[in-house]
């Protein structure tokens, strides 16, 4: 379904908007790098010691859009998705997270007195990362997409496109498109409804051409990186055999995907999420003739359900912090041992300097002492920083 709204070919009034994106897919496909590329700076950590699924969220303004809008962009990553023994339980966690955002809005609508500061956290679009193979979608992808497509806009992307030849890229896209049809998986339809007025025919024709071009590109083949070539001021990805310019349409669909999702179709994606997918979900929850979660019938029960899901998310985040704390402590112990070793070596060198055999020995020993003192100072600074990070993590966990 698409909506009759004006194209971004015409400027909209500048105003603060919100846009929420869920980035989902197996771990190791470049989701964190993609998020950092969108923001143009590193906001999402690309490495984690956790071994279980948890949802990481970053929020910052996204400017420089074609319509002149200033957008508060929230991006949520499903870290470690599909990597544990309970991979299929991860699907239910993500589904509950999306539906919980619907539940919060439904609970707010059911209140007699609305909260003027209520923040709508509904997911506007899910960018789903697919691993490039010679078999199309795997079983986890199929189950995940079938479960998510009724409640969120799905935009599929082919990850790690820089590792594929042009023929391999096209073959992967064809296989994924066929699997989506065979398994009846609904993704976001970029085709735009034609506007009836004659004076907008030219705009319609231009938009239809754009819609067809974008639809034919699906799934978008992505290469992402937040590294910038200082000489050319371009985003690049360094590889062993050279570099990839991710803004080059011959090498990556990144620019086309960003233009489509975050510029040209941003309003349409948001409207479908709020006025079609949410309304369908809301109708099912309020229809007593249909089977659904009974906890969604009353505002108080809705609030309790929301609190339970948030508590589960906090527990996962606490476990992640505990794992990270254990890793940091091990690293601190290693560096303390290294610092002690350097101090012993320094004392030994100072002892030898009291009885040098020649001036050359004196100079060589002094150089070694200077080098050890520099290493000692560097390790001490690293220990200080990691102690501060550990203290901050403990403060967050306490809160």
d(CA 150, CA 164): 31
Helix residue ranges per DSSP H, 73-138: 87-109
Residue 193 per-residue DSSP state: P
Query: How many CB atoms are closer than 10 A to CB 371?
Result: 13
Helix or strand or coil: residue 79? strand
Query: Mind listing the pLDDT tens digit for each residue in 115-155?
Result: 888 888 999 999 999 998 878 899 999 999 999 999 999 99
d(CA 311, CA 308): 5
Given CA atoms 302, 119, 312, 186 in this order, what sign does their dihedral have? positive
Phi/psi at 375 (5° precision): -65, -40
Distance CA 55, CA 206 (A): 39
Residue 60 near residue 164 (C-beta atoms within 8 A): no
Q: Which residues contact 92 (CB under 8 A, 6 or more apart)?
A: none
Tokens found for residue 25? 């897919």
Which residue's entry shows tokens 């941003």?
A: 266
- Look at strands 220-221 and 154-158 and give their pairing: parallel
Q: What are phi and psi of 341, to 5 degrees?
A: -60, -45
Assigned architecture for domain 16-297: 3-Layer(aba) Sandwich (3.40)
For 37, 157, 191, 242, the CA distances from 234, given in Å and listed in that order, are 11, 22, 31, 15
Q: How high is the pLDDT of residue 296?
A: 39
Residue 344 CA from chain centroid, whole number: 46
Structure tokens at 399: 């809160």
pLDDT at 194: 44
Three-class secondary structure of residue 201 per DSSP: helix
Q: Which residue has the tokens 């041992």?
A: 337
- The DSSP bridge partners found for residue 60 are 73
pLDDT at 313: 62
Name the stretches of the chain with pLDDT < 70: 1-15, 46-49, 192-203, 225-244, 288-310, 312-313, 316-317, 320, 352-366, 382-399
pTM of the predicted model as reported, rounded to 2 decimal places:
0.68
Whole-number pLDDT of residue 100: 92
């Amino acid at each position: 379904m698409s909506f009759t709204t004006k194209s971004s070919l015409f400027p909209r009034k500048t105003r603060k908007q919100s846009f929420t994106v869920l980035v989902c897919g197996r771990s190791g496909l470049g989701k964190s790098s993609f998020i950092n590329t969108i923001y143009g700076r590193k906001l999402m950590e690309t490495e984690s010691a956790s071994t279980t699924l948890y949802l990481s969220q970053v929020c910052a303004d996204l400017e420089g859009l074609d319509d002149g809008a200033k957008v508060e962009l929230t991006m949520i990553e499903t870290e470690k998705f599909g990597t544990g023994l309970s991979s299929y339980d991860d699907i239910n966690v993500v589904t509950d997270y999306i539906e919980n955002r619907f539940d919060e809005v439904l609970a707010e609508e059911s209140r007699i007195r609305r909260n003027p500061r209520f923040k709508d956290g509904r997911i506007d679009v899910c960018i789903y990362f697919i691993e490039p193979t010679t078999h199309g979608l795997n079983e986890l992808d199929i189950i995940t997409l079938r479960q998510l497509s009724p409640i969120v806009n799905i935009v599929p992307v082919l990850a790690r496109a820089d590792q594929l030849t042009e023929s391999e890229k096209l073959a992967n896209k064809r296989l994924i498109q066929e699997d989506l049809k065979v398994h009846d998986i609904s993704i976001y339809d970029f085709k735009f409804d034609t506007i009836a007025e004659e004076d907008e025919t030219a705009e319609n024709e231009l938009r239809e051409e754009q819609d067809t071009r974008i639809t034919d590109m699906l799934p978008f083949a992505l290469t992402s990186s937040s590294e910038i070539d200082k000489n050319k001021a371009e985003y690049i990805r360094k590889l062993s055999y050279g570099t990839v310019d991710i803004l080059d349409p011959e090498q990556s669909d990144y620019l086309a995907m960003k233009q489509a999702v975050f510029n040209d179709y941003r309003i349409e994606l948001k409207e479908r999420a709020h006025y079609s997918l949410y309304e369908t979900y809301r109708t099912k929850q309020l229809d007593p003739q249909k089977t659904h979660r009974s906890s969604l019938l009353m505002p108080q029960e809705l609030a309790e359900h929301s609190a339970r899901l948030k508590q589960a998310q906090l527990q996962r985040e606490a476990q992640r912090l505990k794992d990270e704390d254990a890793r940091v402590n091990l690293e601190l112990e290693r560096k303390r041992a290294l610092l002690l070793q350097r101090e012993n070596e320094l004392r030994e060198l100072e002892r030898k300097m009291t009885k040098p055999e020649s001036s050359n020995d004196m100079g060589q020993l002094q150089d070694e002492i200077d080098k050890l003192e520099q290493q000692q100072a560097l390790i001490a600074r690293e220990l200080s920083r990691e102690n501060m990070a550990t203290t901050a993590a403990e403060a967050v966990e306490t809160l």
